[in-house]
């Protein structure tokens, strides 16, 4: 296995993790892709979706599109979003080990897919909602993703006949304030932040650098030339390869 990260950096990361007592892990796009999810935010995927649907993934997964073109939204959502099944990775296993050692205190999921079902985090903040939950905006009844898959076109509530909506944050919609505050507080108190992939929504969860001098931040990203002064280390290896090596 050939790593992009040098032995020296690996040693530094190991030391930071060993010394840390309050780690926050933020699950981003790369973490999702390694567990079987699709990253719509690539040139290839954007092109493919645009050819097939006439709109970009970001346009379709927006709050305004959902209101205006619900049938097309659900055609896309069933075929492209709900087809994904998420499996565990050595990256998730490594996070569980950090949790067992009482170092990992909070996990913030920025993806709208649940973490793999065998992975149980004690303190998980699902900031973007989840595709496994849908609800009726009128009577608040809950529906599974299987219910959505079993229907054609726009899915309706079987009690009050209103059209359903997935419990995920669509682009252009406001973030859940209570959850956001919880996530920001967890990040503020952390002595080490593991940013496991890109954040599609670009929410700023991290406290101001000057107020958090003792906080170490490690960004894992597949984007090779990315520079970011907010992070002490930027790692370009697969998360599932490198995390088991540094814990
Ligand atoms: Zn209803």
Give me the pLDDT at residue 188, please: 93
Model confidence, pTM: 0.94
The series of mean pLDDT values per 10 residues for the chain, 247 residues long, is: 91 97 97 94 94 97 97 96 93 98 98 95 96 96 96 96 96 94 95 93 82 83 80 95 96
| Ligand 1 midpoint to CA 157 (Å) | 5
Task: State the distance from the centre of ligand 1 to the C-alpha of 133, rounded, in angstroms.
Answer: 14
pLDDT of residue 196: 97
pLDDT score, position 213: 62
Spatial neighbors of 244 by CB under 8 A, at least 6 apart, are 90, 91, 93, 94
Please give the distance, rounded to the nearest whole angstrom, from the Cα atom of residue 159 to the centre of ligand 1: 5
Give 130-133 contacts, CB < 8 A, sequence gap 24+.
Answer: 130/167, 130/168, 131/81, 131/82, 131/166, 131/168, 133/166, 133/167
User: Tell me, what's the pLDDT at 212?
Assistant: 54
Q: Into which CATH architecture does domain 7-37+86-128+174-246 fall?
A: 3-Layer(aba) Sandwich (3.40)
Indicate where the chain has its CATH 3.40.50.1220 domain(s).
Answer: 7-37+86-128+174-246
pLDDT at 55: 97
42: number of Cβ within 10 Å: 14
Query: How high is the pLDDT of residue 84?
Result: 87
């Amino acid at each position: 296995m050939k790593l992009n990260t040098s032995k020296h950096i690996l040693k530094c990361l190991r030391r930071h993790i060993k010394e840390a007592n309050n780690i926050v892990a933020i699950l981003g796009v790369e973490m999702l892709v390694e567990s079987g999810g699709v990253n719509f935010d690539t040139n290839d995927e954007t092109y493919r979706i645009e050819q097939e649907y006439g709109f970009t993934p970001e346009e379709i997964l927006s709050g305004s599109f959902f209101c205006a073109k619900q049938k097309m939204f659900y055609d896309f959502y069933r075929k492209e979003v709900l087809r994904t099944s998420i499996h565990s990775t050595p990256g998730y296993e490594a996070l569980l080990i950090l949790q067992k050692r009482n170092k990992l205190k909070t996990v913030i999921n920025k993806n709208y897919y649940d973490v793999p079902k065998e992975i149980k985090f004690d303190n998980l903040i699902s900031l973007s909602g989840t595709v496994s939950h849908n609800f009726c905006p009128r009577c608040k009844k809950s529906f599974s993703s299987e219910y959505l898959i079993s229907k054609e076109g726009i899915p309706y509530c079987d009690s009050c006949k209103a059209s359903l909506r997935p419990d995920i944050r669509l682009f252009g919609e406001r973030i859940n304030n209570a959850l956001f505050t919880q996530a920001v507080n967890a990040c503020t108190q952390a002595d080490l932040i593991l940013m496991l992939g890109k954040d599609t929504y670009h929410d700023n969860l991290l406290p101001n650098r000057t107020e958090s001098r003792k906080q170490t931040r490690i960004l894992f990203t597949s984007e090779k030339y990315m520079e970011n002064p907010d992070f002490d280390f930027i790692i370009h290896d697969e998360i599932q390869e490198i995390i088991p090596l540094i814990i």
